[in-house]
Structure 1
């Protein structure tokens, strides 16, 4: 017998699990949907606050009421904020809990409050303002969102109108201390089997988790373990409302140990050479930029600056400017007579675009000031998550910027990023690009959420008559230069470089 203990997220109570619970029960499982204090559950006596420890105690009470009998497995399922009291309770009952399921949630860490997992900077600031800047809630509450504001807390894709109406009507204020109190863990539950259910309609995917583990992010490297499995659901952040049948089936599969496992991080594979032969030119390092200067260059040469994607963990080693794919592009460009440039910028989280933009602008000015560079002939080439940075250069194009290129870019905030400053919305900026040539290299097997941002950008670009050329890699994945080392990929790189160099040197 499996006992599912279901814990919902911010503002919500047990009612959100009704359809899923019925399906799990019909499959022979026992289901307990937890009523968290203040969120559908009882409120404590007057003068007693509700914090994260209160909610951990709520989950513990349900675990203890179930007990542990022979052949019975307790599975904790945490959605959104709910994963924090789930992990806290599992840490205290590691010998009783059989498995933890992370349902489109973050990965809680010891000493870190739940607020840290909220991607939307505006929502974070709203919580801190409500707490009076004290870092504690002092019994205060955050009002639930209006019907059209739920998407700020996670994509509502697929949620029927009636379900969204009910979600709004039954929502409860969130006690601030549940978001502000740091989670305290002993590590007792670290070895429990776990499953992650990611909602691709909310911008999450197994491929993205794999990529960040490959970057060397310590908290995610722990997920490269045979006891950890993953699933994807093609829906938004509220699968219990949008896809209850599929979610119930997935939960049953998770209990059975099914699902995909991450590939062990292979540092040797991560530093495999560029897919094309390039000249072994030395780098010249200056601060955060590296220059690859054409051999026997005479007079100032045009420069091509390659802008890495992200977010990239602070701990990632090597840093992006030393990644073989970027050094390969830079050396390839230098072999064609232009100065190739790589750099490190500080895009470590989706809240860092302003800092990354400043780093890039500073790096470009330092490149233009180099006497070996023709300051009037510079092109920028962006990759992946640096796509939002293109908006600065399209919105107000300097005369020396001769071309802008982007490989498999993210051209709008993904649903689980929350709001991103309008400054970083390329689809809005492209209307001001004028005659700036734009080259976009599109991966045919791109993640659906990323592909949607590219299509939205292209629609806007075509509507305003932008000078844009699309180079398709039909059988290519995101980061096709390393993921798909094929002749199709190689030809796409050659064609893109020819196009950019033609624009840069014209």
Structure 2
């Protein structure tokens, strides 16, 4: 018999598992939801910390493993993955699989607070700990809208959110501040990641991280690691209990998608050749910037800076300015008589948008100061996750900025990025764009959560009177230049680039 030990996340108790547990039981499994101390009506006790919750989970594992032949599957949601992994490290021989339910990757010596995506929330917890000496509590969300700060509530109806709020309990600060201690035994336990795409993460996204070659994530491509996706927000046990139960049963059976290790199979998308014919042009490197110069570059020429997406791990090689797609765009621009610029910025994590924005501004100044560039005729073209960096330029465009373009962009932060209240919200900034031309290349087969940010942006632009020229690639996917056949996007690519060049030279 399979026994599912279910560990809830921040502020929540066993009640969140009720519907999913009923479906697992109906399928013949046994279910043991864990009542974490202080989070399930038991009342918080002074000194409650991560070790307290690890002990709670170990007690459930011991109870579940009392009968011979039981296969224990440990499921940790959100914060719950930290005590789950801590307990599995001490009971590794009893746990058949750990399921990471829309959860981060706990690390030895790192507290759970590090996994909270919102920097302002992390600061709030640290300040509260300073005042309370680390023995206080963090108040739960006070209403429906407040839960969104902790993860997407997509799919959860208002009645359920009201119940979640009513039953929420304060989170003991010690559970977030105490570092997790691991012996390493848990590394031998097979794992499954269940990703909730409405919260901003997909299997494709994780595969891209593996493709970048970052050693920290290569373990995700191990044969004993599987993945599932659920098209919902951060609380699938409330929004999709039946689908979650099915996924957990399949995970227990060892099913799921397996990632391809870096360096195996065909090249990753970002390193595949640019499929269109583009001429070789002179390239000059200055610091982190490459200028692709027109062959007949006489006199100052307009320039377009291509702002790559991300996050991209700091150790990824080659760096984005050398990726075939970025170079293909820059050479195509140079073939049209303007300087095409590729450069590297430091968007290595979702917390890095501010310094990446500084890098974009520095690259712009470097390019505008070059005597071969017409400093009064510059365009910026943003890609993918780099789209959030357009907010600074849309909100208060300088006179020399002749056009902003974007291809398959993210135009509002994903719920789990922790920057919802930051300045990096193009959908909020576009109202200040005025007469600035905006060219948006939209992928028809975009991920729904990204497509929603584009629609939000277009609605805001319309309300603000900003004219956005949309160039559609109906059959294109995110990153279509290297993942789709060129006949699906070739005409749209040329049209969009011609429009940007027209705005630069008009």
1:144 matched to 2:171? The reply is: no
Give the structure 1 partner of residue 241 of structure 2: 244
Give the distance between the partners of 2:263 and 2:439, measured in 1 at CA. Answer: 32
Give the structure 2 partner of residue 227 of structure 1: 224
Give the distance between the partners of 1:166 and 1:393, measured in 2 at CA. Answer: 42
Q: CA deviation at 1:53?
A: 1.6
- Asked if the contact 1:114–1:183 (Cα under 8 Å) also holds between the matched residues in 2, the reply is yes
Q: CA deviation at 1:341?
A: 0.8
Q: CA deviation at 1:68?
A: 5.8
Give the structure 2 partner of residue 392 of structure 1: 392
- Asked if the contact 2:343–2:363 (Cα under 8 Å) also holds between the matched residues in 1, the reply is yes
Give the structure 1 partner of residue 295 of structure 2: 295
Q: CA deviation at 1:79?
A: 0.2
1:62 matched to 2:60? The reply is: yes
Q: CA deviation at 1:445?
A: 0.8
TM-score between the two structures when normalised by the length of structure 1: 0.95
Give the structure 1 partner of residue 492 of structure 2: 492
Alignment match of 1:261 (pick from 244, 258, 263): 258
Give the distance between the partners of 1:152 and 1:308, measured in 2 at CA. Answer: 27
SS in structure 2 at match of 1:131: helix
What are the ranges of 5 or more consecutive residues in structure 2 without an aligned counterpart? Answer: none
Give the distance between the partners of 2:183 and 2:486, measured in 1 at CA. Answer: 47
Q: Deviations over 1:372-428 (max 9, x none)?
A: 111011111000011111111111111111111100000001121234345222122
Q: Deviations over 1:21-46 (max 9, x none)?
A: 1111111111111111111275676x
Give the structure 2 partner of residue 107 of structure 1: 105
SS in structure 2 at match of 1:424: coil
Q: CA deviation at 1:272?
A: 2.2
1:379 matched to 2:379? The reply is: yes
Q: CA deviation at 1:8?
A: 0.3
Give the structure 1 partner of residue 151 of structure 2: 154
Give the structure 1 partner of residue 458 of structure 2: 458
- Asked if the contact 1:379–1:403 (Cα under 8 Å) also holds between the matched residues in 2, the reply is yes
1:481 matched to 2:481? The reply is: yes
- Root-mean-square deviation (Å): 1.8
Give the structure 1 partner of residue 84 of structure 2: 86
- Asked if the contact 2:5–2:72 (Cα under 8 Å) also holds between the matched residues in 1, the reply is yes
TM-score between the two structures when normalised by the length of structure 2: 0.95
Q: CA deviation at 1:137?
A: 5.2
Give the distance between the partners of 2:370 and 2:305, measured in 1 at CA. Answer: 13
- Asked if the contact 2:32–2:64 (Cα under 8 Å) also holds between the matched residues in 1, the reply is no
Q: Deviations over 1:320-371 (max 9, x none)?
A: 1121111121122112211111111111222222211111111101100001
SS in structure 2 at match of 1:190: helix
Give the distance between the partners of 2:324 and 2:382, measured in 1 at CA. Answer: 15
1:215 matched to 2:212? The reply is: yes
Give the distance between the partners of 1:429 and 1:62, measured in 2 at CA. Answer: 50
Number of paired residues?
A: 502
SS in structure 2 at match of 1:189: helix
Q: CA deviation at 1:122?
A: 1.5
Give the structure 2 partner of residue 433 of structure 1: 433
- Asked if the contact 2:276–2:486 (Cα under 8 Å) also holds between the matched residues in 1, the reply is no
Give the distance between the partners of 2:317 and 2:87, measured in 1 at CA. Answer: 34
- Asked if the contact 2:2–2:72 (Cα under 8 Å) also holds between the matched residues in 1, the reply is yes
Give the structure 2 partner of residue 189 of structure 1: 186
Give the distance between the partners of 2:42 and 2:504, measured in 1 at CA. Answer: 66
